[in-house]
Structure 1
């Protein structure tokens, strides 16, 4: 069955970016002039999926406003003859068919996904974190290619320096083809010495509809349900295997302040209108810091 729907998770509090996220959703924090969630939606669209469900929470209305029309702004840009910015603003409101669902209580990824059950129906679907993004070939498309071959759930992964694996869920298992493993172990935030590999889950999943029933049968741990536990229930009930795809794209894990700044600098250095000035500033700052 073809994958036609995507769920983007955008209900979290963004506590790492307080106090800014007290008034602005973390998914709306800009990388130069585009919010993070803009990149996420573009990733989905580049995979050919246009039916997108955004799971939001209290105070996330700015996300809806961003993807909605702004007639007053459009009129202003038109009256000024600013065609480039007008086209940019109009494109955003037309870029996708967006459907909004509110997660009333933040109880983890599986709970957020089940909020979308009625809209997804009996179809496979992809899930994306709304507060990080990728640069390069669409990870969603890469997951879909694995699903089309094996007909099972697929988790997007990224290989990272081993000393950082304690921050993430780690996956391991035999390689079934280059870049694809059959998952045998899933360990959430292990100690470095206990990690079975350096392939970590990086906020991209493809699930089959069996996921929904499995969530109901999965017990809570520390007040919420965890997707690795749900995956184990799916396997136990259906025999379905899960695969991990080492994604061929650059992961911008901008959910923490340091990586957010790094990604902002990365994109600034790619822009013709600012790269020289930014590079010169960085060189000056590094020289001054080293000289201290």
Structure 2
């Protein structure tokens, strides 16, 4: 069973500037909850017991949000408003934190979880992507695929051809409805995308992923990309791609963020 997850939350949020100079994208409000709470809840509902959140020194507000506020609790008790604490979210899932000292890419952020994961399969959830559906949580769908086949599984979304240049796009062999064996991955193809299947921010990996991350060689100042490790992985071992049931919103884009807000309030 997959019991551990990594949530990378240390990026600069450059797509959402200037607001991300002071408010982490992961804390953007969706209804009365921040985006990252939806992702933590999704992992918890899927059976994840331990989550490592990768933060930077400017993201301490994320750590504070998932903690008790003794001053607030004392104030509300004094004002006979302790009932308001029922709205506070303290997850049952065990949360751990570590800092990414430099913004060296998603691959580097995930690699920081190597000791935390050990020799276990694990999930990765990107808080940019919020997935809503009536069935199983998005990451649970991939966990079930891993449990059935024993190999890494990557979440996919069918995307319009004119938008494929924004995503990592897979090349794969169809195995069953919404299920593919990934044979290659192209990051943001400018022309001739290999399919209309884009990678979204949900993954379940075997611990072998770290061996591929270890091999990536980058020049000074370059980022370590998770896509590069996945490309190496699918060349030597089986990896599945699964179209996720549910509607995915990329809150790094204004259009998706506004659509999500409208859906929550409708």
TM-score of the pair, normalised by structure 2: 0.93
Whole-Å Cα distance in 1 between the matches of residues 199 and 83 of structure 2?
Answer: 38
Q: Distance in 2 between matches of 1:149 and 1:226?
A: 28
Which protein has the larger Cα radius of gyration, Structure 1 or Structure 2? 1
Question: Matches of 1:241 and 1:101 in 2, distance apart?
Answer: 30
- What pairs with 1:18-33 in structure 2 (closer than 5 Å)? 18-33=17-32
Residue pair 1:217, 1:233 contacting (<8 A) in 2 also: no
Give the CA deviation at 1:39: 0.4
Alpha-carbon displacement from aligned partner over 1:44-63 (angstroms, at most 9, x marks no partner): 01101120000011200000
Secondary structure at the residue paired with 1:107? Answer: coil
1: CA distance between counterparts of 2:84 and 2:250?
28
What secondary structure does 2:39 align onto?
helix
Kept in 2, the 8 Å contact 1:183–1:242? The answer is yes
- Figure out how many residues of one structure are paired with residues of the other and give that number: 263
Q: Establish whether residue 117 from structure 1 lines up as the match of residue 110 from structure 2.
A: no
User: Corresponding residue for 1:51?
Assistant: 50
**Partner Cα distance (2:16, 2:83) in 1:** 32
What corresponds to 2:87 in structure 1? Answer: 88
2:188 maps to 189
Separation in 2, partners of 1:85, 1:247: 36
The alpha-carbon distance between structure 1 residues 201 and 235, as it changes in their structure 2 partners (threshold 3 A), is closer
Which runs of 5 or more residues in structure 2 are unaligned? none
Q: Which of 98, 122, 133 matches 2:130?
A: 133
2:230 aligns to what?
231
More helix, by proportion: 1
Structure 1 unaligned residues grouped into runs of 5+: 270-292
Matches within 5 A, 1:75-224: 75-82=74-81, 85-89=84-88, 92-136=89-133, 137-191=136-190, 193-220=191-218, 223-224=222-223
For normalisation by structure 1, the TM-score amounts to: 0.85
Deviation at 1:172, TM superposition (A): 2.6
Check conservation: 2:182, 2:234, Cα contact below 8 A: no
1:248 match = 245
User: What is aligned with 1:288?
Assistant: none
Q: How much has 1:219 moved relative to structure 2?
A: 2.8
1:267 counterpart residue number:
264
- CA distance in structure 2 between the aligned counterparts of 1:55 and 1:161, rounded to whole angstroms: 31
